[in-house]
Amino acid sequence: MARNRRKQPRRDALLEAAVEVVGERGVAGTTHRAVTERAEVPLATASYYFSSIDELIAEALTAFVKQRAEEIGLPHQGDVAPAQVAEWYAQQVMGLDKSKRLAFYEVLLNAARTPELAEAARNALASYQDWAVAGLNAAGAPRGVGAARAFVALGLGFGLLHLVESQESDTEDLFVALRDLFIGSVLDPDEHTAWTQRLGTAGRE
């Protein structure tokens, strides 16, 4: 029977608690008891709303990633400079608190093994790619969509480094790296050829 989820504070509390627990313990370490204790509801509450811990985790992480995708979307309307795109993305990547950052990577890591998370993970990555395409198009890069995955990978990589070894300069360093990647994407053919030869990568396109 369909239920009005807007009027289910306990259910919402379970979903929020599940994201926190996953961020702290990982998917494998998340249990009904841990989630219900974090949500401050009776243990039986989880079984009332969800058929299994896997269903609870999948729904919680899917909702979390959907919200994350909305947060990462560019707030600007109309034309936006690539530097603004780089600054916005760097702040979004590094501004996420540790628990939620870990939960986000748990989604990505488990997407290949958990079909329920695969679509959520793809949608999140698509939202990351959208901002990169916007910046590349604004810069006049010839390979907008094709080059966007490199920007996404750079952001995700910096996010992982920040988890392992946090540096105060990480946000600024990511911004600079993204900005330089934009610069490299708009070099004219002659400049591109000159730099590939200088770096010893001629022939690798």
Question: Residue 47: is it exposed, middle or buried by C-beta count within 10 angstroms (0-12/13-18/19+)?
Answer: middle
Look at residue 4 in the predicted model and tell me its pLDDT: 47
Q: What is the pTM of this model?
A: 0.79
pLDDT in tens, 162-176: 999 999 999 999 999
Q: What is the CATH number of the domain that holds 13?
A: 1.10.357.10
Using CA atoms, how far apart are residues 195 and 135, in angstroms rounded to an integer?
A: 22
The answer to whether the beta carbons of residues 97 and 41 sit under 8 Å apart is: no
Q: How many helices (H) and strands (E) does the chain have?
A: 10, 0
**Residue 27: inside a domain, yes or no?**
yes
**Residue 171: inside a domain, yes or no?**
yes
pLDDT in tens, 1-17: 344 445 689 999 999 99
**Residue 203: inside a domain, yes or no?**
no
Mean pLDDT computed over 146-160: 90
**Residue 205: inside a domain, yes or no?**
no
Number of domains, the chain: 1
**Residue 71: inside a domain, yes or no?**
yes
Sign, CA dihedral 30-126-178-149, equals positive
Range of the domain at 163: 5-198
Mean pLDDT computed over 63-70: 83
